[in-house]
């Protein structure tokens, strides 16, 4: 139905193989817990279920609620909040005041500042400008079920929590909003102040 590597070239982690994006985010905590146990302890500082590579920079007043893996050369800015199973690939940058929940961010991607990313999978070399948001729940609807638009048809995810799958090299402009269930192909451009709602 959907191959993760068609959107994210680096998403060949064996832990993700054969799973749909919304299954991966739902299982983020278990997937990351298992991966922490395989890390080289010479390269990471591991406290409980939070693993931070020794080359990563985590500024003051960051809140880390594991399980979390922060890979080599990452930057996490002051007052960021990571929770519910978060994986940051190499050279990922999380700016000040961002919140990331149950999500996977692949190498060289960046959140500017004051972004929210919930229950999502973000490809490599993706940039989110300030204030852009990936929503993961239909607060305003009575029926909160999330569907996605794939191959010109609506596909149910059978979940009420899923944000987006964002392909490699995509650009999301300042204060843009991706509605729950957004699927963006590689090299997508979302203009500033846009609302992406692929399934109504």
Express each pLDDT in 180-195 by its tens digit: 999 999 999 999 999 9
How far apart CA 198 and CA 140 sit, in angstroms, is 16
pLDDT tens digits for range 28-67: 999 999 999 999 999 999 999 999 999 999 999 999 999 9
- CA nearest to 106, candidates 40, 198, 21: 21
- CA nearest to 198, candidates 177, 183, 176: 183
Record the pTM. 0.97
Identify whether the C-beta of residue 170 lies closer than 8 Å to the C-beta of residue 187. Answer: yes
By the 10 Å C-beta count (0-12 exposed, 13-18 middle, 19+ buried), 141 is classed as: exposed
How far apart CA 31 and CA 198 sit, in angstroms, is 28
The answer to which of 5-14, 115-124, 156-165 has the lowest mean pLDDT is: 5-14
All domains in the chain, ordered by first residue: 4-196 (2.160.10.10)
Q: Mention every residue, 6+ apart, whose C-beta is less than 8 A from residue 59.
A: 76, 77, 78, 80, 96
Place of tokens 């609506």: 154
């Amino acid at each position: 139905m959907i191959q993760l590597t068609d959107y994210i070239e680096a998403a060949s982690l064996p832990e993700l193989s054969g799973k749909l994006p919304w299954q991966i985010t739902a299982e983020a905590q278990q997937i990351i817990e298992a991966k922490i146990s395989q890390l080289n302890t010479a390269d990471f500082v591991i406290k409980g279920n939070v693993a931070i590579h020794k080359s990563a920079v985590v500024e003051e007043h960051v809140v880390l609620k594991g399980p979390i893996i922060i890979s080599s050369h990452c930057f996490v800015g002051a007052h960021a909040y990571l929770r519910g199973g978060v994986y940051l690939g190499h050279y990922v940058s999380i700016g000040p005041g961002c919140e990331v929940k149950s999500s996977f961010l692949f190498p060289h991607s960046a959140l500017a500042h004051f972004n929210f990313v919930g229950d999502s999978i973000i490809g490599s070399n993706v940039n989110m400008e300030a204030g852009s948001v990936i929503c993961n729940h239909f607060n305003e609807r009575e029926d909160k079920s999330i569907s996605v638009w794939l191959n010109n048809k609506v596909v149910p995810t059978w979940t009420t929590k899923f944000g987006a799958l964002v392909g490699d090299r995509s650009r999301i402009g300042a204060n843009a909003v991706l509605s729950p269930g957004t699927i963006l192909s590689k090299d997508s451009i979302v203009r500033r102040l846009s609302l992406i709602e692929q399934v109504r």
